[in-house]
């Protein structure tokens, strides 16, 4: 199984006799660029997919149609296997929202993740909740621009960059809420891990995240281009301990019921067996 485009292309070029399966974690539009770059990447992606045997695993329902169109294949050549969370590693932590809550943002500091929107939303939130903290976990090309953005801000002292981490469970346990401003997600593993830890989530309403966050039950889906909307949704969750507790439990329960690691492993094993037996 090839989990990245580069690995898939190498496997396709090698042309081995072992059945190949490409695992697609993204939506092709944001990933593929524009104009000639998009055409070139689509041609390579279609060649790779064909050489691997036209078998693909996607991690959320919206990706099926998206991938079928981009790869030029019937939807029947694609299977959905939800990502899974290790519930022993991301343990549920009962908590009540702090008076100086920590807001976690987990992901690369790259344009598709839109971390600058989190900083703008945090400036608004800090007006309603003085002393709140914003913690970025991850690194990327936008780090210098983010440093400049907070340099002259009154809230810059409450923004921290934790960098890349082998694991984020400890940071999630120390925070009260997850923000996820990304403009595109195949699934949103960071969101699932936060929910397993008992964090309500305020996220941009994009495909993939809708598979996880149930508005009003496990968090909120809002336009991150509107910092006031982000701040209001977050304040509403953090200011009501009873509601917060219900959301935390519902978030954990949703991961336990739908997005466990063992369910994901079973899905991959079934796909591999069918590929080897020629049933796919």
Q: Which long-range contacts (CB under 8 A, 24 or more apart) does 113-116 make?
A: 113/138, 113/140, 113/181, 113/182, 113/183, 114/181, 114/182, 114/183, 114/204, 114/224, 115/142, 115/146, 115/181, 116/142, 116/145, 116/146, 116/149
Spatial distance between the Cα atoms of 105 and 160, rounded to a whole number of angstroms? 10
Give the number of other CB atoms < 10 A from CB of residue 98.
16
pLDDT of residue 225: 95
Spatial distance between the Cα atoms of 210 and 64, rounded to a whole number of angstroms? 15
pLDDT digits (tens, 9 = 90+) for 31-56: 777 888 889 999 999 999 999 999 99
Q: What pLDDT band is residue 11 in, cutting at 50, 70 and 90?
A: confident
pLDDT digits (tens, 9 = 90+) for 213-237: 999 999 999 999 999 999 999 999 9
Cβ-contact 201, 251 below 8 angstroms: yes
Cβ-contact 163, 187 below 8 angstroms: no
Rg (Cα) of the chain, in Å, rounded?
A: 20
Phi, psi of 87 (to 5 degrees): -75, -15
pTM summary value: 0.91
C-alpha distances in Å from residue 164, one per residue of 51, 74, 158, 171: 35, 38, 19, 12
Whether 16 has a pLDDT exceeding 80, the answer reads no
Provide CB contacts within 8 A for 43, sequence distance 6+: none
pLDDT digits (tens, 9 = 90+) for 156-189: 899 999 988 777 999 999 999 999 999 999 999 9
Q: What pLDDT band is residue 4 in, cutting at 50, 70 and 90?
A: confident
The CATH classification of domain 102-258, taken from the options 3.40.50.2000, 3.40.50.620, 3.40.50.720, 3.20.20.70: 3.40.50.2000
């Amino acid at each position: 199984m090839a989990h990245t485009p580069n690995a898939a292309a190498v496997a396709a070029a090698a042309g081995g006799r072992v059945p190949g399966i490409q695992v697609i974690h993204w939506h092709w539009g944001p990933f593929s660029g524009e104009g000639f770059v998009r055409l070139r990447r689509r041609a390579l992606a279609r060649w790779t997919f064909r050489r691997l045997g036209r078998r693909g695993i996607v991690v959320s329902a919206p990706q099926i149609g998206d991938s079928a169109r981009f790869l030029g294949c019937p939807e029947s050549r694609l299977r959905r296997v939800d990502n899974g969370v290790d519930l022993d590693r991301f343990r549920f932590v009962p908590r009540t929202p702090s008076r100086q809550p920590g807001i976690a943002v987990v992901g690369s500091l790259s344009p598709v993740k839109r971390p600058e929107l989190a900083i703008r939303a945090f400036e608004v939130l800090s007006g309603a909740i003085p002393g709140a903290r914003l913690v970025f976990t991850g690194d990327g090309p936008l780090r210098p621009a983010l440093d400049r953005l907070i340099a002259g801000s009154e809230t810059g002292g409450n923004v921290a960059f934790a960098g890349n981490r082998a694991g984020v469970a400890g940071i999630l346990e120390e925070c009260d809420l997850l923000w996820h401003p990304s403009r595109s997600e195949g699934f949103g593993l960071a969101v699932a891990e936060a929910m397993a830890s008992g964090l309500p989530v305020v996220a941009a309403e994009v495909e993939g995240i809708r598979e996880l966050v149930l508005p009003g039950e496990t968090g909120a889906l809002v336009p991150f281009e509107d910092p006031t909307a982000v701040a209001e949704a977050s304040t509403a969750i953090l200011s009501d301990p009873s509601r917060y507790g219900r959301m935390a439990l519902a978030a954990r329960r949703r991961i336990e019921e739908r997005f466990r690691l063992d369910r994901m492993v079973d899905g991959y094993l079934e796909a591999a067996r069918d590929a080897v037996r020629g049933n796919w």
